[in-house]
Structure 1
Amino acid sequence: IDVIKEFLERSEAEKRYGVVLYQGGVPEGRIIRVVRIPGVDVEACGGTHLNNTSEIGKIKVVRGERIQDGVNRLIFVAGRERVEELEKREERRLKLIVEKLQEKFSIKNVEKDAGKTLQRIAKMFSVPLDKIEDTVEKFMRDIPKAERIEARNVIDACEKLFKEWKRSRKEKKRIPSELVEKILSDYSEDYKGYKLVFVPDPNISKDYDSIAIAEELARAERIVACIRDDKGLVFSASRDIEIDLREIARKTGSLLGGGGGGKERLARCGGSRLENIQKAMEEAKNLIKSQLSG
């Protein structure tokens, strides 16, 4: 289609085409440049334009962005070389994802349209396109080891991965009473009528959600718990104790090179310096005893 470019008096242009001319903004001056693709669009624009739409060559929409109500932005690449370069990058990314998935999934077929497949995966996991690889790796790490799962294609494998991950999360929150009893038996001490529970071994909670363990321990009376996991420390306290664990989490988190927070009776802390975890637990014990004594 030919792209028609002409200079018109503003009044004449508005008479012919109306305010649709100004979708991209209102230009200054009495004479305006009007760019028109017959049957498609017309705009007042002073920018660079082709003479015919065939000059664009190959074009590929990368993604869409919502700017405001009724206004959306399309992000795209144009030109054969740029599109082919993008498609090669997409194919490489999809190949890496397939290699990671094949650790636990037997994938029969790989989709031909890598770009579309990546977009569907991003939507499935509700993450940006550039976070897909990290997300798949995290989910793969979080699901339990099992026999390889059959999958029709990459999308099917990702759907099954998501379901397995959600099922695993639910399982980790079901804390067996035997584990609670073992923790209370092996890691608790009495202090001024309270029971303090400090679990220094992260392996105790590795198969379960450490926050769920802490909440389960706090169902007992007059108890404060501190549990170590692979991210830092989790704190909980029963409802019959006046204590603010948020402050304790913040102070111990600073020893780990990070921070902490949460609720008064359920908090956690963490950071990049987990080599200081033992020191942080000792500080936590002192802070807890101080609050209970005060």
Structure 2
Amino acid sequence: KDVSMAPDETLFRLAEERGLNPDMVVSIAHELGWEGLSVRVGFAADMAARNAQMTKVAAKAKARDSVFEVAALPVTSPDYYADTSATEFTAEVLHCAPLSSEDVESLNLSSEVLGVPTHAVVLDRTLFYPEGGGQLGDQGMLAQNGAAANVVDTRVENGVILHLTDAPLEGGSAKGVVDWERRKQLMDHHTAVHIVGGSAREVLGPHVWQAGSNKGARYARLDITHHSRLTREALDTIEDRANEIVEANPGIEKLVMDRADADATYGFDIYQGGPPKHSQIRIIKIGDYDTQACGGTHHDEAGEVGELLIIRSSQVQDGVERLQIVAGETAREHTRRQERLLGDASEILGVQPDDLPRTVSRFFDEWKSQQKRIESLEAEIVRLRTDGGGDAAVEKEGVRYVVMESGGDAKQMMAMLGELTRDASTPTLAVLGSREGGGTLIVASTEGSVAAERHNAVEILNAIAGHIGGAGGGRPTIAQGGGSKPDGIPAALDAARSLLGIS
């Protein structure tokens, strides 16, 4: 434990394979007794360069020909940065290209895109924000000469912004209208992700690093590095702190800086969303709570988010937790929906909402008890039908043959077969059929008995499975198959009886 400098390769592997950034590694090491361990000066910059190179290699491996030919088109003026609340504008149509079905498929449109784009329209300027930095693209409408085309999504390639529309536009002037309700919701979620990220670092420690994010209109998610699973109590603490920041309503500064100046002013931590692609970058600074390089759309004040909720967390991989976030109107709708669910469940069960957990737990325990009782009764029915003079069993040359239809599913049928074939003193061959699903057939014999010596379960199954339009497989002592003609079960069982000579 006298090591003072963490090896580079170890730090690289922990970051890439376990999601542990260098600060997290040092923090854990100190807790375990390596109090003098540190990271060499300049390692963070080397890791960023390594990550950038890996991203470039991965991008080349996945490279596809561009859907859009934009090389001859000028860069679009992104007017949405000047005023994120502006929604109407006039622009010149520079280009309109039809999209084939293959083009649309290659776009990998999000589930929030409700229409199917038929054209890609390029304007000289726009207020439509294109998908990027984890934020989905704007939607809205472009109007020209009395006709309108819906903008179902917005993309960007090499600085050229493409409006994916459901109708063509001609060259000339056009009016654009951004869907404000959606834009505001995207801004709510994007701003909330910054606030939650800052509060997570404050609550959990400086080792927390953004490992990914996505901001749609329905919800947002934030992936953060952390060395253990997050409890609901920890999530509530992060959520409470985030809402305190929203209530404090700090101003949100949107700065454009040379990368060198940004590095010198704010350090490497501003690149949690990944290294920037340009020499000039946009900085989003929310009071003293969070500062990030980010090209998305955000509110001017944190209080405009209204409220935010962390719905749940899940583990993406070792050391990476995914937080699902709703903010603004989606947070209010989520709360209303949860209240409706609680109210409906309380009414159905006839209890107060506070009593629901205890009541549901009691009902679940009773259900499990009833299931065990049902399985016991089913086993008893099988014994009654196959023992003594039961109607489903035939004794022949030292082997008990049981061919019967069951009303249960495959699991219940397997339990019945266990009851029938487990007793070595009663060699048994059983053929069970059920009409559930598309029809199920199971053939089994008592292991190590004369029944297993005389009969092959797979051969019997293959001989009768055609009656249910199916097939199956297994081993000589047990075979199972399914089909698509459940009404063929009686014929399949009759065929089994005929094959075994017990009809």
Q: How does 1:12-27 map to 2 (within 5 A)?
A: 12-27=261-276
Tell me what 1:143 maps to: none
Aligned to 1:133: none
Counterpart selection for 2:363 from 161, 166, 185: 161
Equivalent in the alignment of 2:446 = 238
Q: Which runs of 5+ in 2 are unaligned?
A: 1-249
Letter in 2 for 1:10: R
Q: Matches of 2:332 and 2:446 in 1, distance apart?
A: 60
Task: Measure how far apart 1:273 and its partner are.
Answer: 4.1
Instruction: Report whether the alignment pairs 1:222 with 2:424.
Output: no
Does the CA contact (< 8 Å) of 2:314 and 2:321 recur in 1? yes
**What are the within-5 Å matches in structure 2 for residues 74-85 of structure 1?**
74-80=323-329, 82-85=330-333
What residue number does 2:352 align with?
109
Is the 8 Å Cα contact of residues 284 and 291 (structure 2) preserved in structure 1?
A: yes
Residues 472 and 481, structure 2, Cα contact 8 Å, conserved in 1: yes
* 1:66 CA drift (Å): 2.7
Shift in Å at residue 180 of structure 1? 1.6
> Of residues 276, 281, 290 in structure 2, which corresponds to 1:32?
281
Whole-angstrom CA distance in 2 between matches of 1:260 and 1:99: 47
- C-alpha spacing 1:76/1:197, structure 2 compared with 1 (3 Å): same
Q: Determine helix, strand or coil for the equivalent of 1:77.
A: strand
Contact 1:251/1:259 (<8 A) preserved = no
* Deviation (angstroms), 1:22: 2.0
Contact 1:246 1:262 in 2 (8 A): yes
CA positional deviation for 1:77:
2.6
Percent sequence identity over matched residues?
28
* Range 248-257 or range 29-38, more displaced: 248-257
Over residues 24-72 of structure 1, what are the superposed CA-to-partner deviations in whole Å (9 max), with x where a residue is unaligned?
1212122211212233222211111111110001323333333333333
User: For the structure 1 residues 237 and 72, does the alpha-carbon distance in structure 2 shift closer, same or farther, using more than 3 Å as the test?
Assistant: same
Structure 1 equivalent of residue 291 of structure 2: 42
Kept in 1, the 8 Å contact 2:253–2:286? The answer is yes
Aligned partners of 2:324, 2:286: CA distance in 1, in Å? 21
2:283–2:292 CA contact under 8 A, matched in 1: yes
Higher mean C-alpha displacement, 275-284 vs 169-178: 169-178
**Residue 178 and residue 108 in structure 1: after superposition, are their counterparts in 2 closer, same or farther (change >3 A)?**
closer
Q: In 1, distance between residues paired with 2:429 and 2:445?
A: 4
| TM-score normalized by the length of structure 1 | 0.65
Superposed CA offset, 1:110-142 (max 9, x none): 24xxxxxxxxxxxxxxxxxxxxxxxxxxxxxxx
Partner amino acid, structure 2, of 1:216: E
CA distance in 1 between counterparts of 2:318 and 2:486 reads 46
Query: Cα gap change, 1:201/1:72 in structure 2, threshold over 3 Å: closer, same or farther?
Result: closer
8 Å Cα contact 1:246-1:261 kept in structure 2:
yes
Aligned pair 1:68/2:317, yes or no? yes
CA 201–170 in structure 1, closer or farther in 2 if over 3 Å, else same: closer
Bigger proportion of residues as helix:
1
Matched residues in 1 for 2:357 and 2:283: separation?
46
Instruction: Give the 3-state SS of the residue equivalent to 2:353 in structure 1.
Output: coil
In the alignment, structure 1 segments of 5+ residues that lack a partner are 112-152
Asked if residue 196 in structure 1 is aligned to residue 391 in structure 2, the reply is no
Q: Helix, strand or coil: the match of 1:163?
A: helix
Instruction: Flag the structure with more relative contact order, 1 or 2, with Cα contacts below 8 A and sequence separation at least 6.
Output: 2
Q: What is aligned with 2:142?
A: none
Give the residue type in structure 2 aligned to 1:108: V
Q: Deviations over 1:192-248 (max 9, x none)?
A: 65321012363xx79x94422210110234311123456344443210215554676
SS of 1:236 mapped into structure 2: strand
Aligned residue type for 1:215: G
- The answer to whether 1:274 aligns with 2:477 is no
Give the distance between the partners of 2:476 and 2:462, measured in 1 at CA.
Answer: 12
User: Structure 1: how far apart are the matches of 2:278 and 2:335?
Assistant: 43
Q: Indicate the RMSD between aligned Cα atoms, in angstroms.
A: 3.6
What count of residue pairs does the alignment treat as equivalent? 239
Q: Which has the larger radius of gyration?
A: 2
Counterparts of 1:122-161 in structure 2 under 5 Å?
153-161=355-363
